[in-house]
Structure 1
Amino acid sequence: MVNTGMQLISFTCAVTGWVMAIAVTALPQWKVSAFIGSNILTSEVKWEGIWMNCIYQTTGHMQCKTYDSILALPPDLQAARALMCVAIFLGWLSCTVSCCGMKCTTCAGDDRRAKAGIALSGGVLFILTGLCVLVPVSWTANTVVQDFYNPNVPVMYKRELGQAIYLGWASAVILMISGAVLSSTCPHIERGGREYRRGYMGRSFPNSRPSPLASDPPKPFTSNSVPLKEYV
Structure 2
Amino acid sequence: MYLVHTAHWQFLGLTLGFLAWILTMVTAGLNEWRLWHMDDVSVITSGVAWVGIWKVCFYTHVLPQMEFCRRISMSDSFLPVEIPVAQVLMALAVICGLAGSISGGVAMRMVYFTVEDRRNIRLVFILTGTLYLFSGSCSLVPLVWNMNSVLINSTIDFPPEYYLPVVPVRQQVGTAIGVGIFASILMFISGLMFLCYKYARHTLRSVAPRSTSNPLRGPWTTTAQRSNGVNKGSDNPAFLSEEVSC
Give the TM-score normalised by the residue count of structure 1. 0.70
SS at match of 2:116: coil
Contact 1:101–1:117 (CA under 8 A) maintained in structure 2: no
1:86–1:157: structure 2 CA closer, same or farther, 3 Å change rule?
A: farther
The structure 1 residue matched to 2:76, chosen from 71, 78, 82, is 71
Instruction: Look up the equivalent residue of 1:29 and give its one-letter code.
Output: E
Equivalent pair of 1:94/1:123 in contact (CA under 8 Å): yes
RMSD: 2.8
5+ residue gaps, structure 2, are 156-164, 205-246
Distance in 2, Cα, partners of 1:71 & 1:155: 18
Structure 1 CA distance, aligned partners of 2:46 and 2:31? 18
Cα distance in structure 2, aligned partners of 1:133 and 1:27: 14
How far apart are the structure 1 equivalents of 2:72 and 2:169?
17
Structure 2 residue aligned with 1:187: 198
1:76 maps to a residue whose letter is E
Which of 30, 50, 58 is residue 27 of structure 1 equivalent to?
30
- The aligned runs of 1:98-177 (5 Å cut-off) are 98-102=104-108, 103-106=111-114, 110-147=116-153, 156=168, 158-177=170-189
* 8 Å Cα contact 2:13-2:194 kept in structure 1: yes
Question: Secondary structure in 2 aligned to 1:159?
Answer: strand
Aligned residues: 185
Q: Tell me the secondary structure at the aligned position of residue 13 of structure 2.
A: helix
Distance across 2 between alignment mates of 1:69 and 1:187: 43
Q: Deviations over 1:169-206 (max 9, x none)?
A: 0010001101111221x233x43x759xxxxxxxxxxx
Offset, 1:70 = 2.2
Match of 2:19 among 16, 19, 22: 16
Q: Unaligned stretches of 5+ in structure 1?
A: 196-232
Is 1:53 aligned with 2:59? no
Render the CA deviation track for 1:96-133: whole Å, top value 9, x for unaligned. Answer: 21111221254xx6333411220121011101100111
Residue 86 of structure 1 aligns with which residue?
92
- Kept in 2, the 8 Å contact 1:141–1:161? The answer is yes
Amino acid at match of 2:112: C
- Per-residue CA deviations over 1:142-193 (Å, capped at 9, x if unaligned) read 11111269xxx97526421101000110010001101111221x233x43x7
CA-CA distance at 1:20 after TM superposition: 0.4
* 8 A Cα contact 1:44 1:57, kept in partner: no
Structure 1 or 2, whichever has the larger Rg, is: 2
Q: Name the residue aligned to 1:200.
A: none
Label 1:43 to 1:9 Cα distance change in 2 as closer, same or farther (>3 A): same
Identity rate of aligned residues, in percent?
25
